[in-house]
């Protein structure tokens, strides 16, 4: 360290570093700064293991409820879709029914306000679908060949409007002039299932949201206090940092990094719990009902792992950084 | 050049720490700031690093009014001014070397540069052989020299020393003063706040006397401690 190095020309702006100065202390290198902040953030996390584990635990709980909501919403949407795609009423025609008669009924049905759509399946289509469905069963296909002619009847697939007044539609068909060509009328109360699922889901979502909100408040409070404690704990270091000209980023950075670490750890623990849980639930569903099992909850969350990761990690980081920012603003005066 | 223009500092409870103080300090001066406890020495010094702001009046360093220094620029101001305190303000958990290096770390300086500069500055204050010692293993004089090393690490133009010998015996006090002298000789402005009569009289340079917040005496070269 020599004399001219230590004393920049006096006519320079006092704070701004002269460009030709051989002394580059103020040229902060982001990489160096970042790695130091990461390190001191980790030290701050480690210094109070009990507090840190507590903060991470509360945050994990919050994220678990949050991911439970995620799962519930997905499951509800899928189940509703599943029932929505199902046909409400099917009218099977006798084999001798004429196509123009069927189309007349289709036309009449479409005029009803309670009907959403009517699909006509001709005997040929029915046969094609049947063959497709049983393409792996040679015995059935052989016996079809044996038969020589198409044994399948035409049908009309009716889907009711959202309000699902299938009873009215069924009654309409029963009273139709061409009732004679209809073999039988099947109907399923899909809308009732949908309504029931949606009602249950709404209730669960409501409680889930309330619980989430409550847990978010608790998590933010716990983390806020953990970081505040760390700030008080390092009051002397912080005072000296200010004195020697540490930038606000250097003073506040480690505490924000601690918040990031809480978020990261809590997200990791949540994911570790989440996947086995989904797997377990999926297996339960399989044993319950084959149709619902076809939704494959686990498969969906495995193939969309990046969305799950993004949502949980995002929520964790927002919670962690948010609470440390509050603590820094209130107690660090930066 | 440092200029205080009609600086007054009033605290909330109407206590006046500084009362209409005007003062000019040229580059490279060695100024002893004397007065009893509570006379306003520390307040004056804190204003230079913007830890305190005047209630009225201006503090100007090299033509820059400190009122115009934004909060985010304060760290850069503080890197230009070295500060030394009575209680050393060292980190007990860090070695001598680490205490000095810390000032560079928090300014984002590269590792190699930290090593080089810290080694140099420890040599200047005569602590090369103590670089691995912790503050509790050092004498008061050594601790204060270490604090001076840290104050010097950013190569400041100004050194502020607030009662640096307050906790030291005579021998150690003189060592610290000799070091400040040496720093002043190479062109650094030194402002020394003290109420130690012998030291001020030995230094024999400009002496500014404060009494109850008022500047009551400003003696040029060869000043004495008179109260």
pLDDT tens digit sequence for B51-98: 999 999 999 999 999 999 998 889 999 999 999 999 999 988 889 999
Average pLDDT of the residues in A178-190: 79
Q: H or E segment at B57?
A: strand B56-61
B145-157 pLDDT, tens per residue? 999 999 999 899 9
pLDDT reading at A322 higher than 60 = yes
B93-116 pLDDT, tens per residue? 889 999 999 899 888 888 899 999
pLDDT of residue A19: 39
Q: How far is A17 from chain B (nearest CA, A)?
A: 9
pLDDT of residue A289: 65
Q: How far is CA A225 from its chain centroid?
A: 30
Which of A23, A25, A32 should one mutate to test binding to chain B, selecting the residue with the greatest count of B CBs within 10 A? A25
Q: What is the mean pLDDT of chain B?
A: 91
B150/A245 Cβ within 8 A: no
- Name the token pair of B223: 């000043």
Domains of chain A: 30-83+194-331 (no CATH), 87-187 (3.30.70.3040)
pLDDT of residue A9: 39
- Per CB-CB distance under 8 Å, the chain A contacts of B103 are 244-245
The whole-angstrom separation of Cα B157 and Cα B111 is: 24
Q: How far is CA A115 from its chain centroid?
A: 33
Collapse the DSSP code of B99 into the 3-class scheme (helix H, G, I; strand E, B; otherwise coil) and give the result: helix
Indicate the class that CATH gives domain B2-219.
alpha beta
- Per CB-CB distance under 8 Å, the chain B contacts of A236 are 89, 91
Between A3-7, A222-226, A259-263, B37-41, the lowest mean confidence (pLDDT) is in: A3-7
**Shortest CA distance from A9: residue in chain B:** B157
Query: Rg of the Cα trace of chain A?
Result: 34
Q: Give all strands of the β-sheet with B2-10 in edge-to-edge order.
A: B16-25, B2-10, B56-61, B64-65
Which of B59, B69, B84, B106 should one mutate to test binding to chain A, selecting the residue with the greatest count of A CBs within 10 A? B106
pLDDT of residue A173: 83
Is the minimum CB–CB distance between B111 and chain A shorter than 8 Å?
A: yes
A269-313 pLDDT, tens per residue? 999 999 998 888 888 877 776 566 566 778 888 888 898 999 999
B213-227 pLDDT, tens per residue? 999 999 887 777 776
- Name the token pair of A309: 């990761």
The top-scoring range by mean pLDDT among A26-30, A115-119, B78-82 is: B78-82
pLDDT reading at A18 higher than 70 = no
pLDDT of residue A1: 40
B120 → closest Cβ in A1, A28, A242 = A1
DSSP β-bridge partners for residue B215: B210
pTM, to two decimals: 0.67
A8/B91 Cβ within 8 A: no
Give buried/exposed letters for A234-271 (b at 16+ CB in 10 A, else e): beebbebbbbbbbbbbbbbbbbbbbbbbbbebbbbbbb
Bridge-based pairing state of the strands B2-10 and A155-160: unpaired
- Name the token pair of A326: 């509050």
The whole-angstrom separation of Cα B124 and Cα B152 is: 10
Q: Which has more confidence, A194 or A110?
A: A110
């Amino acid at each position: 360290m020599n004399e001219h190095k230590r004393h920049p020309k006096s006519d320079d702006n006092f704070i701004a570093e002269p460009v030709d100065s051989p002394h580059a202390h103020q040229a902060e290198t982001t990489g160096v700064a970042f790695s130091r902040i990461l390190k001191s953030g980790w030290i701050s996390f480690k210094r109070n293991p009990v507090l840190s584990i507590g903060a991470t635990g509360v945050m994990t709980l919050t994220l678990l409820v949050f991911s439970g909501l995620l799962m519930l919403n997905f499951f509800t949407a899928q189940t509703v879709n599943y029932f929505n795609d199902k046909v409400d009423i099917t009218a099977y025609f006798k084999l001798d029914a004429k196509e123009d008669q069927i189309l007349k009924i289709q036309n009449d049905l479409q005029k009803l306000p309670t009907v959403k759509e009517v699909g006509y399946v001709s005997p040929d289509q029915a046969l094609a679908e049947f063959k497709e469905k049983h393409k792996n069963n040679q015995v059935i296909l052989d016996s079809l060949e044996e038969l020589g002619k198409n044994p399948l009847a035409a049908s009309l697939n009716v889907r009711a409007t959202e309000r699902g007044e299938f009873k009215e539609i069924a009654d309409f068909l029963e009273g139709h002039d061409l009732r004679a060509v209809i073999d039988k009328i099947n109907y399923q109360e899909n809308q009732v299932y949908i309504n029931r699922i949606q009602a249950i889901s709404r209730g669960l979502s409501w409680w889930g949201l309330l619980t989430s909100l409550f847990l978010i408040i608790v998590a933010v409070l716990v983390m806020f206090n953990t970081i505040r404690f760390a700030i008080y704990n390092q009051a002397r270091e912080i005072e000296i940092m200010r004195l020697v000209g540490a930038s606000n980023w250097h003073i506040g950075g480690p505490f924000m990094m601690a918040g990031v670490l809480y978020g990261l750890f809590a997200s990791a623990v949540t994911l570790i719990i989440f996947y086995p849980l989904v797997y377990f639930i999926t297996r339960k569903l399989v044993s319950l009902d084959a149709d619902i099992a076809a939704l494959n909850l686990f498969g969906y969350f495995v193939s969309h792992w990046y969305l799950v990761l993004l949502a949980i990690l995002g929520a964790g980081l927002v919670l962690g950084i948010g609470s440390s920012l509050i603590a820094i603003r209130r107690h660090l005066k930066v | 050049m440092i200029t205080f223009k009609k600086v007054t500092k009033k605290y909330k409870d109407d206590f006046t720490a500084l009362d209409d103080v005007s003062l000019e300090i040229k580059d490279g001066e060695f100024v002893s700031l004397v007065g009893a406890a509570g006379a306003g020495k520390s307040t004056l010094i804190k204003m230079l690093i913007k830890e305190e702001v005047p209630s009225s009046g201006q503090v100007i360093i090299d033509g820059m009014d400190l009122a115009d220094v934004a909060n985010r620029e304060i760290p850069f101001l503080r890197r230009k001014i070295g500060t030394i305190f009575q209680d050393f303000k060292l980190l007990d958990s860090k070695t001598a070397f680490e205490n000095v290096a810390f000032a560079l770390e928090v300014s984002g300086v590269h590792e190699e540069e930290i090593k080089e500069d810290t080694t140099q500055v420890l040599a200047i204050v005569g602590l090369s052989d103590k670089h691995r010692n912790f503050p509790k293993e050092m004498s008061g004089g050594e601790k204060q020299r270490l604090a001076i090393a840290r104050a010097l690490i950013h190569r400041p133009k100004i050194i502020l020393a607030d009662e640096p010998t307050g906790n030291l015996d005579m021998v150690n006090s003189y060592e610290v003063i000799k070091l400040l002298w040496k720093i002043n000789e190479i062109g650094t402005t030194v402002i020394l706040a003290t109420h130690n009569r012998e030291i001020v009289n030995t230094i024999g340079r400009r002496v500014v006397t404060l009494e109850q917040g008022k500047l009551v005496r400003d003696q040029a070269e060869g000043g004495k401690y008179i109260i």
